[in-house]
């Protein structure tokens, strides 16, 4: 059997070298799939078909299996994120303290359901399972920054600030 040669990098974008680095560190073993997908997402912000194809070929994972993994885990995104992201925690403590109202307010203001990005690519609306800041419920993450005991007005104010940028 001929020796396996990994496919060439998809482009001369330096970020592919970082991705390749993760795979090399793991000896191009199949079990590095999720680790590598994490690297792709943190480098590029999301996973597109070309990226998944490149990683799958490099690690010798069947395409359908790689796609199955990507779509199984909710942390992975197939679409580029907006310039800003508002994430409403939908954990139990947050639900008890009215997180549904925050989601509804953001949905109405942005005109998109959770998981989507506004047409202008400005803001993504997300929900999280639980960010572990339950004692300050309801919790919202503005671009990853935790805000606790949040009211709907607070979310709307932040969305306004982002909208006029």
Partner 1 sequence: MSDAVEVKTLIIDEQEVSARRGQTILDVARENDINIPTLCHLEGLSDVGACRLCLVEIKGSNKLLPACVATVFEGMEVSTNTERLQKHRRMILEMLFAERNHICAVCVSNGHCELQTMGQEQGLTHIRLPYRNPSLNVDASHERFTVDHNRCILCTRCVRACAEIEGAHVWDVMGRGINSIVITDLHEEWGSSTCTRCGKCVQVCPTGALFDKSKVGTDHPKNPDFLPYLNLMREAQ
Partner 2 sequence: MTIEELEQIAESVRLENAKFDYEVNVCMDLACASQGAEKLRDALVKAVEASGKTVLVRRTGCMGPCSSGPLVRVDPEETLYHHVNADHADAIVASLGGDPVPTLQCDLNDHFDKQVRVVLENAGHIDPEKIDDYISCEGYKALLTALTEMTPNGVVHRITESGLRGRGGGGYPTGLKWGTVAKAGGDLKYVVCNGDEGDPGAFMDRSVMEGDPHRVIEGMAIAAYAVGASKGFIYVRAEYPVAVARLTTALREARRRGLLGSNICGTTFSFDVEIRLGAGAFVCGEETALLASIEGRRGTPRPRPPYPAVSGLWGKPTLINNVETYANIAPIVRNGGKWFANMGSERSKGTKVFALTGKITNTGLVEVPMGIKLREIIEVIGGGVPDGHTFKAVQTGGPSGGCIPAEMLDIGVSYDALLKVGSIMGSGGMIVMDDTSCMVNVAKFFIEFCMTESCGKCIPCRAGTAQMHTLLSRICDGSGTMDDLELLEDLCSTVKEASLCGLGQTAPNPVLSTLKYFRNEYIEHIAHKRCPAGVCNIKAAVEVLA
Q: How far is the CB of 25 from partner 1 (least distance, A)?
A: 25
146 three-state secondary structure: strand
Between 38 and 53, CB nearer to partner 1 = 53
For residues 4 and 27, is the Cβ–Cβ distance under 8 A? no
Residue 66 makes contact with partner 1 by CB under 8 A: yes
Between 62 and 111, CB nearer to partner 1 = 62
**How far is 81 from 85, CA to CA, in rounded Å?**
7
127 three-state secondary structure: strand
Q: How far is the CB of 95 from partner 2 (least distance, A)?
A: 5
Q: How far is CA 151 from CA 57, 126, 128, in A?
A: 47, 17, 17
> Which range of residues in 12-20, 59-67, 113-121, 157-165 is near partner 1 by CB under 8 A?
59-67
Instruction: Name which position in 62, 111, 113, 132 contacts partner 1 (CB under 8 A).
Output: 62
Between 44 and 95, CB nearer to partner 2 = 95
Residue 95 exposure: Cα atoms within 13 Å on the Cβ side: 7
Binding site for partner 2 (CB under 8 A): 30-35, 37-38, 61, 65, 68-69, 72-76, 90-97, 128-137, 139, 145-148
Residues 70-89 interacting with partner 1 (rule: CB under 8 A):
71-72
Residues 39-58 interacting with partner 1 (rule: CB under 8 A):
49, 52-53
Structure letter (DSSP) for residue 100: H
Residue 97 makes contact with partner 1 by CB under 8 A: no
Task: Give the chain's length.
Answer: 165
Residue 64 makes contact with partner 1 by CB under 8 A: yes
Q: What's the distance, CA 129 to chain centroid?
A: 13
**How far is 152 from 33, CA to CA, in rounded Å?**
39
The residues that touch partner 1, with contacts defined as CB under 8 A, are 49, 52-53, 62-68, 71-72
């Amino acid at each position: 059997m001929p020796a396996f040669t990994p496919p060439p990098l998809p482009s001369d974008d330096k970020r592919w070298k970082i991705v390749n680095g993760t795979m090399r560190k793991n000896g191009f073993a199949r079990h590095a799939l999720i680790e590598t997908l994490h690297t792709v997402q943190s480098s590029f912000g999301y996973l597109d078909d070309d990226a998944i194809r490149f990683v799958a070929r490099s690690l010798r994972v069947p395409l359908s299996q790689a796609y199955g993994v990507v779509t199984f885990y909710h942390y992975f995104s197939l679409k580029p994120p907006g310039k800003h992201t508002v994430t409403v925690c939908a954990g139990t403590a947050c639900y008890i303290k009215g997180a549904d109202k925050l989601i509804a307010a953001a949905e109405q203001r942005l005109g998109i359901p959770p998981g989507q990005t506004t047409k202008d690519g400005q803001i993504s609306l997300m929900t999280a399972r639980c960010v572990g800041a339950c004692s300050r419920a309801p919790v919202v993450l503005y671009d990853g920054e935790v805000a606790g005991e949040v009211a709907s007005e607070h979310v709307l104010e932040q969305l306004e600030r982002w909208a006029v940028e």
